Structure 1
Amino acid sequence: MLHISKNKIQIREDYNKFKSVKFSSDDRRYNSFNKFVIALFIIVFIVLFLPWTQFVRGNGSITTLRPEQRPQSIQSAIPGRIEKWYIQEGDYVSKGDTIVHISEVKDAYFDPDLLARTQSQVKAKNFSFESYRNKVKALDYQIAALKEERDLKLEQAQNKLLQANLKVQSDSINFEAAKLQLSIAERQLNRNEILENEGLKAVTDVESKKVKYQESLAKIISQENKLLESKNEVLNAQIEITSIKAGYKDKIAKAESEQYTAKSDQANTESQLYKLENEFVNYSIRSGLNYIVAPQDGYINRARQQGVGETFKEGAEIVTIMPAEVELAVETFVAPIDLPLVHVGEEVRIIFDGWPFIFFSGWPNLSYGTFGGKIVAVERFISPNGKYRVLIAPDPKEPSWPEPIRAGTGARSFALLNNVPVWYELWRQINGFPPDYYQPDVETTKIKK
């Protein structure tokens, strides 16, 4: 005792007046209490060596196994104004049932005869397109006819040129023959004149030879003129061939130019036709979007838009629907430290919120109210909450899950691991060590998509 003060306590307290002192000072009770403590210590010591099943705890909620079976919001692809509701919250709808009727709010679609007018424009443009196509075909026929006519004219001109060449040859031969005859007549006249001077020929014979000479001279001049005319005809035939080629080339070029113009107009009209057809299809599809229908069988959960006459933008949520036929699953989250202990195909025990249960995590055989499941997927990227998402499906070997549970209900999962003594588990928990790492004996089943 520290001697802080020199003053000493003079008053002595009598502890025997307290009930607790009297109760504990009794020898019988003291012996009983010692036996109880010893028995309790023995029981605790025995419990420390009992087997304890390690587990990985996860918290989550009920979802669906397939993405298309999860609650979804029905959105409007176009802006509009609500005209009439055909459902109320909680109704069951089949696929294709009308949910709400909306009207247009953009002035470009106010015309009630928009589809009919657009279709008329499509028909008119299609007629114009057919006209240009027929014009192109007609110009094809015209060009072919011009080419055929050109070939015939050229063949005719070639024949005429050939005839002119043959005539030139003929006239040239006749001209040479006339020249020969003139030479013969000249020689005969000279001989007759000589003979006349010698008195051997009469004057009449000489005069006849002079007449024949003059006739030969006139004939050679005539044949020369014919030859020149034939050569002129050859030149005319050649000029005609050149003229035919130039004329028909101009005609064909003009027809081809008109054809190219018609093809350009045809392509332009075809582009406008496709644009009008695209607009007509878009208008037709858009008119069908004025009635929002159920994408699948299910129940209407909540109407996001209220009233009649309310306007909204494109992509706005109209209602939310829960599919009727679903395959339930548990979406739970485990800490990163426990991720190596979770494998696809392992069995898991599940506790649903609102369902009575008695659960002993270390002795699952003594538990009541838990349901079996199997891990079907483990997320490979961490979730925003800092944990990894694990998807658990019902175990077909276990009793089916309760019928009243719905998607969104809270659930706790316990993945059972190795069996260890209780003292080892307490030591692990005190030191903050993870459960024993292990690999399953049986290869995990690959889940097919």
Structure 2
Amino acid sequence: MLNLSQNRIEGKVDINSLHSFSMLEDYRASKIFSSLLVILFFLLFIVMFLPWTQSIHSKGYVTTLQPSQRPQTVHSIIGGRIEEWFVHEGSFVKKGDTILFMSEIKEDYLDPQLLSRTEDQVKAKELTVESYTNKVAALNSQIGALLKTKRLKVEQAKNYIQQIKFKIQSDSIDLQAAITKNAIAQKQWERMELLYKDGLKSLTELETSKLKLQESQAKKISAENKLLSSKNELINAKVELLSVENQYRDKLSKAESEKYTALSSRYDAEAMVTKLQNQYMNYSVRSGLYYVTAPQDGYIIKTIRSGIGETVKEGAELISIMPTRYELAVAMYIRPMDLPLVSKGQDVQFIFDGWPSVAFSGWPNLSYGTFGGKVVAVDNFISENGQYRVLVVPDPQGEKWPVALRVGSGAFGMALLKDVPIWYELWRNFNGFPPDYYQTQFEKKNTHKALSIDK
């Protein structure tokens, strides 16, 4: 009741002996309530100073660490028509197992004897190359023989020229002797004529002397003709030498021209052989592509193409395979403002779909049903959803991830950051501040060491 009256009864009436007054006022409950408030406030004050682990929350999905371990789609390398299936969805296949068989649909490859006929073409062209090779060898032998014959002919012509030069020298000497004899005979005839005039010689002796003079003149003329004839022979020998050289030069040029023609034809044939061999190997490899095989061990997830007789194009998707061996990881996405807070080696706690858990992001040690991980990669380029992808692998020192966990399952991640008091965390959230970004002294030292090693 309200105590509004100015007349007080405290000290005048024993209130405790009156039951009505005891029902109106109970000082004991008031004291207990006050004590509870004090205790709660004290406990709240103490709780405010308890440590709290800051974290970044993000959703992700289970994937694999290696790209080769993720679900993959098998494509058709060539276009064809599906003729027979050897597997079904859920089948286990090993690397190299046949998945399906296709037949050819392109008109360039419909010939059933395509490989054998292409092989015959290759052999025919190889024989052509061999024949051109033999022709080149024969022309090389012919050129060698011509060079040898030319060398002998030229040497023979030079020797003949040398003989003629010696003959010219001999004829020159004979001419000089004839000139000398003619001069002597001329002088003898002149003396004989003087003596005849003086009556000392007879007419017969004079005529004999004149006859000798005429004979010496005839020998002189004959020697001159012989010398000129020898000089003409020298000119003819030189002309013959040039003729031999020109003749064999023409023959050699013709033989070399035929040789280079044969070489060109051989090179063309070799190029055609290489082209046909390449074509043959392409046909052979293509015939092996009619059977689509498994690229690795795994399970058939889905058959994208179905039925018999369906036509597929080059690069068309056929089936999806999930590898049997894989290393699990989680791909989670964080906001750009949280990117500086995440680094390699950072601890992350996960809650997987289907595994019940009781999680306390601020007190990870009290959480139940969560699994630890370590950050191994952070994308440097933003994803299509406007966030950055972070790849996390299982923590080797933590609890192992569930064996039944499958690729594609959902995951909720909590990246653990700095330990701060609860009052600071409440104050930060009330003001909308981001979590603290920091590095421990140990991490800073390692960073400086790595930078020094890189330099």
| d(CA) in 2 for partners of 1:270, 1:326 | 49
RMSD: 2.6
Query: Following TM superposition, by how much is the alpha carbon of 1:314 offset from its aligned partner in structure 2, in angstroms?
Result: 0.8
What amino acid sits opposite 1:442 in the alignment?
F
| d(CA) in 1 for partners of 2:287, 2:442 | 57
| d(CA) in 2 for partners of 1:398, 1:26 | 62
| d(CA) in 2 for partners of 1:191, 1:434 | 151
Q: Partner of 1:393 in structure 2?
A: 393
| d(CA) in 2 for partners of 1:26, 1:130 | 129
Cα 1:166/1:121, change in 2 over 3 Å: same
Q: Partner of 2:329 in structure 1?
A: 329
Q: Partner of 1:118 in structure 2?
A: 118
Once the two structures are superposed, residues 283-306 of structure 1 have per-residue CA deviations (whole angstroms, 9 ceiling, x without a partner) of: 222222111111111111111110
Q: Partner of 2:64 in structure 1?
A: 64
Q: Partner of 1:224 in structure 2?
A: 224
Query: Following TM superposition, by how much is the alpha carbon of 1:267 offset from its aligned partner in structure 2, in angstroms?
Result: 2.8
> Which stretch of the first structure deviates more once superposed, 89-98 or 197-206?
197-206
User: 1:260 and 2:260 equivalent?
Assistant: yes
**What is the SS of the residue equivalent to 2:415?**
strand
User: 1:276 and 2:276 equivalent?
Assistant: yes
Q: Partner of 1:239 in structure 2?
A: 239
Cα 1:124/1:329, change in 2 over 3 Å: same
Q: Partner of 1:12 in structure 2?
A: none
Cα 1:130/1:26, change in 2 over 3 Å: farther
| d(CA) in 1 for partners of 2:311, 2:391 | 40
| d(CA) in 2 for partners of 1:79, 1:60 | 38
Matches within 5 A, 1:349-368: 349-368=349-368
| d(CA) in 2 for partners of 1:103, 1:428 | 68
| d(CA) in 2 for partners of 1:284, 1:84 | 21
Query: Following TM superposition, by how much is the alpha carbon of 1:192 offset from its aligned partner in structure 2, in angstroms?
Result: 3.1
Q: Partner of 1:132 in structure 2?
A: 132
Query: Following TM superposition, by how much is the alpha carbon of 1:329 offset from its aligned partner in structure 2, in angstroms?
Result: 0.8
**What is the SS of the residue equivalent to 1:368?**
coil
**What is the SS of the residue equivalent to 2:299?**
strand
**What is the SS of the residue equivalent to 2:185?**
helix
What amino acid sits opposite 1:283 in the alignment?
Y
After TM superposition, the score normalised by the length of structure 2 is 0.85
Q: Partner of 1:164 in structure 2?
A: 164
> Which stretch of the first structure deviates more once superposed, 226-235 or 43-52?
43-52
> Which stretch of the first structure deviates more once superposed, 195-204 or 354-363?
195-204
Once the two structures are superposed, residues 63-91 of structure 1 have per-residue CA deviations (whole angstroms, 9 ceiling, x without a partner) of: 11111111111111111111111212112
Matches within 5 A, 1:38-49: 38=37, 44=44, 46-49=46-49
Q: Partner of 2:94 in structure 1?
A: 94
Cα 1:26/1:317, change in 2 over 3 Å: farther
**What is the SS of the residue equivalent to 1:58?**
strand
Q: Partner of 1:178 in structure 2?
A: 178
Equivalent pairs counted in the alignment come to 422
**What is the SS of the residue equivalent to 1:105?**
coil
| d(CA) in 1 for partners of 2:84, 2:440 | 58
What amino acid sits opposite 1:111 in the alignment?
D
| d(CA) in 1 for partners of 2:193, 2:48 | 174
After TM superposition, the score normalised by the length of structure 1 is 0.86
Cα 1:82/1:392, change in 2 over 3 Å: same
| d(CA) in 2 for partners of 1:290, 1:433 | 62
Cα 1:131/1:36, change in 2 over 3 Å: farther
| d(CA) in 2 for partners of 1:182, 1:366 | 149
Query: Following TM superposition, by how much is the alpha carbon of 1:426 offset from its aligned partner in structure 2, in angstroms?
Result: 2.9
| d(CA) in 2 for partners of 1:114, 1:326 | 43
Q: Partner of 1:215 in structure 2?
A: 215
Q: Partner of 1:144 in structure 2?
A: 144
User: 1:405 and 2:405 equivalent?
Assistant: yes
Query: Following TM superposition, by how much is the alpha carbon of 1:269 offset from its aligned partner in structure 2, in angstroms?
Result: 2.4
> Which stretch of the first structure deviates more once superposed, 229-238 or 249-258?
249-258
| Structure 1 runs not aligned, ≥5 long | 1-24
Q: Partner of 1:8 in structure 2?
A: none
Aligned-pair identity (%): 55
> Which stretch of the first structure deviates more once superposed, 276-285 or 95-104?
276-285
